[in-house]
Amino acid sequence: MQAGSSYAALLNGVEPHGGNQDALARRLGCRPDQLLDASASLVPFGPPGWLKRQVAAALSGSALRCYPDREQWELRQGIARAHGLVPAQVLPGNGAAELFTWAARDAATAGCNWLCVPGFADYHRALSTWDAQLSPLPLPLRWQRQPCWSFPSITAGPGEAGALWITNPHNPTGQLWSRSSLEPLLDRFALVVADEAFLSLTPGGEAESLVPLLGRYPNLVVIRSLTKLLAIAGLRLGYALGDPARLQAWQAWRDPWPVNGLAAAAGTAWFANRARADRWTQRVQRWTAREGAWLQQQLASLPGIIPMPSAANYLLIRGECNGEPVSLQPLREALETRHRILLRDCRSFEGLDEPWLRIGYQSRAGNRRIIRAMRQELSAQRR
């Protein structure tokens, strides 16, 4: 299967990302700040105050007037120190999405690209740019709660094991893959792209990171994002960790200034004070654990709603009645139009259809608002 045609078919008119508040506010006839956006999975109490002050200071300095440092030397040094690497193993990017584009160019030459189904549509977008060959890796759509899960086995014929794309924790299922189940795959594939965008928000997640394996596996690239952890989606800041020669090639392919001055200032500030960063990360992980447990319990009490176990700061729900799937699209639309609440339409995830929605955790007040609205609409639908 070629990526270009599959990407268009996958989306079929469905928004491939959450968080498109401006467009939805225009359609609903309200202001963006009147929406409760649970379609994107950002920390609801961010960005940190000290980070806002750093960005404000950068505004009054040279961050707007001067071109950014093309080498991003200070930022790369900070990232490298945080992960026990050298700067040559670090490549900052304009969010993880920009880095997926260059990972896909690399992966397109490695042979077949193995993608989990369901999975994040942006990998398809990136691979379609280079007409890459795809092979689906179906995941079971029912799973039991556990601290972490084993990655499913892959049966690949001769010459098929080219590139493997992993999201950890997985998006959209929220399953945290164990490092022990992932490491054997590094010997089987010419390239492994590990997207760890949500790992720092996940309790116990860092213990399963593949970053410690980078020194032994030049075919491994780990992509991280600060967007979710710091709630800075508007700044666009991610980074790739990998073999220096590979990252140097990616750097040569892209535009000269992919990371703007304000994003670089925010990232440099984040990595400059590890104790402060650790405190924030621990706060976020406590929120993920607390709100995840509460929301799972509340959702399980709603008629026709089956919440799936998740280790991440989001979870999948499916509609079901007497063991048969039921579309949740009327519920999603009612929440948007009558309650100004946005849930993620999962039809952009290959392998998921109308019975599935994804909910990004909010504050307790926001989560209560979601549950109240869902209970009201489900009750009305049953009358």
CA distance 95 to 125: 15
- Say how far residue 322 (Cα) sits from the centre of its chain: 33
CA distance 226 to 269: 12
| DSSP annotation string for 150-189 | PPPP----TTT--EEEEESS-TTT---B-HHHHGGGGGT-
Q: In this structure, are residues 342 and 38 in contact, taking their beta carbons and an 8 Å threshold?
A: yes
CA distance 56 to 265: 10
In the chain the domains, ranked by start, together with CATH numbers, are 7-46+277-382 (3.90.1150.10), 49-274 (3.40.640.10)
Q: Which residues of 203-223 are buried (b: 16+ CB within 10 A; e: fewer)?
A: bebeebbbbebbeebebbbbb
Taking 50 as the pLDDT cut, the residues of the chain under it are 5, 8-10
Model confidence over 15-40: pLDDT tens digits?
565 667 778 788 888 888 889 999 99
Strands (E), 131-288: 134-138, 163-167, 191-195, 220-225, 238-241
Cα dihedral: 88, 89, 93, 97 (round 10): 150
Residue 27: predicted pLDDT: 83
Residue 87: predicted pLDDT: 98
pTM of the model: 0.93
CA distance 59 to 262: 7
